[in-house]
């Protein structure tokens, strides 16, 4: 028996986040001459935004990094859940022509 759809959706979002995180790690290993973040999501900025919104004083770079990772995993799982919700509410029509083809 498969888990209920919300659990599958969160797992799918976590799997996507895992792929993103692993791709950043692989790119860091391949581009050894490049120092620093690869892009916005790989920087300290997301963690700084979380610290600012939560009014956390005196946050270190390491804590900014950890807050950014928590944000990445949180919104990855949340987007997976939202995708599952949308997929259930907007059922795909299988085996039928698109509505525009009926004209």
Mean pLDDT, range 61-66, rounded to an integer: 90
* Closest CA relative to residue 65, chosen from 53, 50, 47: 47
Instruction: Write the Ramachandran bin of 53: left for phi over 0, alpha for psi from -120 to 50, otherwise beta.
Output: alpha
> What's the CA gap between 6 and 80, in Å, rounded?
9
- Listed in sequence order, the residues at least 6 apart from 13 whose beta carbon sits closer than 8 Å to its beta carbon are 76, 77, 78, 79, 80, 81, 83
- Say what the pTM is: 0.70
* Res 12 pLDDT > 90: yes
- Domain positions in the chain: 5-91
Say what the pLDDT of residue 42 is. 76
Tokens describing residue 19: 């792929």
């Amino acid at each position: 028996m498969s888990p209920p759809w919300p659990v599958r959706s969160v797992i799918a979002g976590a799997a996507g986040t895992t792929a993103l995180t692993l791709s950043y790690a692989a790119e860091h290993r391949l581009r050894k001459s490049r120092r620093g973040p690869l892009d916005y999501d790989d920087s300290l900025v997301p963690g700084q935004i979380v610290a600012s919104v939560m009014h956390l004083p005196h946050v270190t770079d390491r804590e900014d990094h950890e807050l950014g990772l928590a944000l990445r995993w949180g919104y990855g799982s949340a987007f997976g859940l939202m995708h599952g919700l949308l997929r259930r509410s907007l059922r795909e029509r299988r085996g039928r022509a698109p509505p525009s083809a009926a004209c």
